[in-house]
Amino acid sequence: MEAKDARPYLVEQLKQQHCLWSYDHDAIDDLPDDMLIEFVMLYLDIDEINMLFQLFPYKKVKRSWIENVVTQGERYYTLNYFFAWYYFHVKRPRAYVKAMATRQLNRRLLA
């Protein structure tokens, strides 16, 4: 699938999973990139997550993951551990996830 077709496909997959039920249907197509990355990482499968890396630069996906998914805490700890190990090739994923969560939460508290 080409990059230009990936975004509408991902939005459609999120709609089918009922992840965007609270959004205005006219505004769903204008979903910000960070939210799209977050929702795909949380609610869709590996094939769709792989599409993110075709659609967006690696650094943007990683930044969005750290800022939006890692900070959601213990609920997604195993998922974040997997992302750190599989997608971002972190040598010590458990320590990395904990450090990034702490860093992001401190930034929010000090802002």
Residue 103 to residue 21: CA distance in whole angstroms? 31
Residue type, 87: Y
Average pLDDT, the chain: 89
Beta carbons of 93 and 81 less than 8 angstroms apart? yes
C-alpha to C-alpha distance for 65 and 83, rounded to whole angstroms: 9
* Ramachandran angles phi, psi of 77, nearest 5°: -60, -45
CA separation for the pair 67, 48 (Å, rounded): 20
- For residue 28, is pLDDT > 90? no
Region 34-55: what's the mean pLDDT? Answer: 94
What's the pLDDT score for residue 50? 95
| Band of residue 15 on the pLDDT scale cut at 50, 70, 90 | confident
Model's pTM, two decimal places? 0.88
Decide if 79 contacts 71 (C-beta within 8 A): no
Do residues 53 and 62 make contact, with C-beta atoms less than 8 angstroms apart? no
Average pLDDT rounded to a whole number, residues 65-70: 94
Residue 23 pLDDT greater than 90, yes or no? no
* Residue percentage of the chain with pLDDT more than 90: 61
pLDDT tier for residue 69 given thresholds of 50, 70 and 90: very high
